[in-house]
Amino acid sequence: MVIIPTTLTDGHSQPVAIAGSAGQVPDGQDPDEPPLPRSSSSVVKEVKLDSKEKEKELDVKEFDDIGTASNSAIDVTSQDGWNHGFGGDPDTAHVFSANSVAKLLEVDPKHGLLTSKAKARLERDGANKIDGSGQVSIWEVLLRQVSNSLTIVLLIAMALSYGTLDFIEGAVISAVILLNIVLGLAAPSSQVFRNGALDTVKAESLVIGDIVQLKTGDVVPADLRLFESSNLEVDEALLTGESLAASKNADILLKPDISIGDRVNMVYSATTVTRGRAIGIVVATGMKTQVGSVAQLLRGQVNTQTSTNPFVRYFKKFINGMKSILGLIGTPMQVKLSKFAILLFGLAVLLALIVFSANKWELHNEVVLYGICVAVAVIPESLIAVMTITVAVGVKAMAAGNVVIRRMAALEAIGGVTNICSDKTGTLTQGKMVAHKVWVPGMGTLSVKDTVDFRDPDDGIVEIDGEQLDKLDFGSQGRIGVLRPVLDAIALCNFASVWRVQTPSDISPEKDMEMRGEWKSSGDPTEVALQVLAIRFDRGKESLLRDGNLVQIVEHQFDSSLKRMSMAYKHSVSGRVEVYAKGASESILPILNITSPSLQQKLQLKLEKLASEGLRVLCIASKTVLGNEEHKLGERAFMESGLEFKGLIGLYDPPRIESYEAVMKCHRAGIKVHMLTGDHLSTATAIALKVGILSPSTTTQYSVMAARDFDSLTDEEINALPTLPVVLARCSPTTKVRMVDALSRRKAFSVMTGDGVNDAPALKRAHVGIAMGINGTDVAKDASDMVLTDDNFASIVKAVEEGRRLFDNIQKFLMHLLISNIAQVVLLLIALAFKDKDGNSVFPLSPLEILWVNMITSSFLALGLGMEEAQADIMTRPPRNLHIGVFTWELICDKMLYGTWAGILCLISFVAVVYGKGHGNLGDSCNDGWNEDGSCETVFRARATVFALLSFILLVTAWEVKHFSRSLFNLDPKKFRPGIGIFKALAYNRFLLWAVVAGFLITFPVVYIPVVNKTVFKHRGIGWEWGVVIAGLVLYIAFIESWKAIKRRFGIWSGKVHSQGGSGDVRGMCRREVRGEVNR
């Protein structure tokens, strides 16, 4: 017999029958493979054929209306079921036969297109690429690969690694860069029929009408109307979100309004062939494909026509080029710093004008030199370079923490998150299902404990009601016989495969037991766990089907709306048919034939108990169908009714070991963690308690909520909730989007994780969207800002910590650079009052001295600050306000105080030398250089004093700004003991340590080397003036330490932590800070 599928619109899955007699395998199908699942939403009708009809290759197909459901499949004949031809719209290709589509597209399915016609169509429709751009040369592709911001940052990180003699990391980053370039240049290829022969062409060059051949493992290169198919299954999770592969059939015609997931005669671009082979006709390429339209919507792109006016095009290009040069294109922080640099440039011009005005615009050489000197002093020349390298270090640290940055803005923003919305499976948990408990009436509860390898049936300990079973004596256990119906059901109603890799031929029999290969699996994780449980008792599917007495005849696939599946097997000898079913408890219980009220009550109690332990509970049932009722199995309502209850199975996805500590770290950092999962409410609650998201002492009636209850609330009702739910169970994509919107309305800054195509809108809507790297779809990754390469929640917390460290370090080097600039400006502006004999202002620092301090001394110190490790209290502070940005009031106030004081001290040192031993002699034309009469002796010695003092002040400042409120002598009390521990604390950052040492040592050659000091830097060697330098340095340190003590004493800004009991009271402070904010 043969059972023909007919797709329905009622949402029920279809049965699938096997063509031929019992034990016969369909042509072209692997005997070891399970029967092919058909697409969802179908019913069947049996058609009996005689031997002659069988020779016609099963051309007869019948489709009937069943009940009130209308068929969405139509008769497959030489004519299309709709009385008109294919109109060229790819969205209607599933309605027409492949021959009709080929005829309209003017292609012979056997020979394919001619090369000339394919070339013409490529010019007409453009390349088969998602971005829709035209063709580019290999050099343009190479340039794009190496000129994007991430690759540039990686290049800097590579140089940084080699520069610090870290050759291993340098080599790894070099390999990553090379891989990026190679991947960018490498183009996927396709097998295409052209000019009557099978040829391999680049996927980008595919055109509408091409005949493409597909096989297992291929990525579908374009949208295809299938022409031929054999056992074809395609993973369409990218588009539909369904985890199971969809079965395809080229011969079926469908109605126009059927959904993409049910178009069984089509395959779509970027999906993957998981089984079988096929030939199809390209009906859409590039942005006209289904995945192209989704990507376009996610990116927010709007197809606009480029202006035909060349002047307008060049003007826009010029504007964009200027923005790029000025740094106004980039991440928000980069743009903000670029605007700040432009502001400083304007300030430099203003200060130069002040200098010129003070000299009554008599612009001779000395006045111009002084103006240039002041202008140079206000510009932090190394700001952008240090910023870029610091970000490179951040990217490098993120990559080491299994986080790939797709958008640089996320690197800056992640440190300010207030809420993290996370998936459960695979993120907070290990994503490795284990059949942990089995309950069967009359047997008790079987438990599988202490498993390490979830695929290994021999791993772990097996107990029944606490009594351990001997693995070698399973057969003799009396109660095991009661378990066998459950084991047979989960083994046969299952598509997963579990096997051990073959033992190498050279292994001796004595070593075979110890050295045989590891266990492998394929299929859905839930079904793998069930198959492993069955194999543990030697009741696996392969064992049960080995003798050929059982033959699968009908299957109703798993349906997400029904949450169950069923399969029927026939005994070839007795003719008896056994039906096995499994599914969610709420789906199976209504179709059970349970007459005992006590069993029903006991069953409900056991269900709740298993779910409360964090287990995903499946209900197992079966029934026997007599031979005269076999024809009714095609009706799902009959096959899935009157079932006998066999048992409950609790599947456990263990939490990751590191999840609890990661969640606790979030709580200490003032970050609220929400778990949004598709699991049962009890299961989600139990896991949330285990990983620390929920606490029994703080749980309220709003902490845990079912998605249907949350979705039923209006936005106003959600806003009125005292707090948003911490756990949302049975979530849909809409639920995630509404959660993100609700957080935004409460002024929270949220992170959302996701992996499926349905998660893409929420990832796009969140402030920072994080996709899964292992299980995530390309659409989810495209919508995200970051990608986790290990799908681990703990990596998100590491990213938050790295984001905070990056923000802190940017503030540190900004503080350092700006203190230097402010000191120089204060010094030079006040020094305008110092006039020589000719009435010209004498600058206390020469232009080259200023450039040396800014470019040599300060740059490496700022770079070292950018490499600072995270402070001990970095994850015990509340989240920062992202709206304030990097220029906080604390930074602004501190830089003005420290910079002004440093400038005053430099000015005092200049005055002390000139008006002390020098008796006020400012010489003659000392701005130009050394005079032979020696009149510039005093000025040159004073400049050297100022230069040395400013250099040493900047060296000390680099250590002082490591923490904005802690004393230099107690920078890290958790790591280093106060007092003598200062040396270890200062040496901890080796780069900064050597930058300070080098800055200190190089000061002396600059001051004392003949010719260099007088001619280049316009100063000379000093002696007693070192006392002035040391005195100024001590006064500078005393001022900073005093201000930090005031901040700690009165709880000002970062000193707030210390004012409330020191570092030991950080957690309490964070809790108070969080309670003070809007409830999230």
What residues act catalytically?
423
DSSP 666: H
- Alpha carbon distance 980, 921 (integer Å): 45
Q: What are phi and psi of 622, to 5 degrees?
A: -160, 170
The residue with tokens 């109307």 is 225
Terminal C-alpha separation, the chain = 61
Strand order in the sheet with 644-652: 15-17, 550-559, 564-571, 577-584, 616-625, 644-652, 434-440, 444-449, 461-464, 467-468
| Whether the Cβ atoms of residue 2 and residue 31 lie closer than 8 Å to each other | no
Query: Pairing between strand 434-440 and 497-500?
Result: unpaired
| Whether the Cβ atoms of residue 792 and residue 658 lie closer than 8 Å to each other | yes
Q: Which two tokens stand for residue 120?
A: 């013409």
- In this structure, the dihedral spanned by the alpha carbons of residues 124, 129, 132 and 138, taken in order and rounded to 10 degrees, is -90
- Alpha carbon distance 712, 203 (integer Å): 46
Q: How many CB atoms lie within 10 A of CB 891?
A: 20
- 3-state secondary structure at position 787: strand
- Alpha carbon distance 803, 394 (integer Å): 8
Can you give the three-state secondary structure of 519-540, one letter per residue? EEEECCHHHHHHHHHHHHCCCC
Query: Pairing between strand 750-754 and 768-772?
Result: parallel
| Whether the Cβ atoms of residue 125 and residue 289 lie closer than 8 Å to each other | no
- Alpha carbon distance 568, 557 (integer Å): 11
- Largest CA-CA distance found in the chain, in angstroms, rounded: 126
The residue with tokens 């932590």 is 1057
- 3-state secondary structure at position 86: coil
Can you give the three-state secondary structure of 900-962, one letter per residue? HHHHHHHHHHHHHHHHHHCCCCCCCCCCCCCCCCCCCHHHHHHHHHHHHHHHHHHHHHHHHCC
How crowded is the C-beta side of 541, counted as CA atoms within 13 Å?
25
Work out the burial of residue 185: count CB atoms within 10 Å of its CB; fewer than 13 is exposed, 13-18 middle, 19 or more buried: exposed
- 3-state secondary structure at position 871: coil
- Alpha carbon distance 1020, 1008 (integer Å): 7
- Alpha carbon distance 236, 223 (integer Å): 12
Positive/negative CA dihedral, 121, 127, 129, 134: negative
- 3-state secondary structure at position 687: helix
- Alpha carbon distance 225, 266 (integer Å): 5
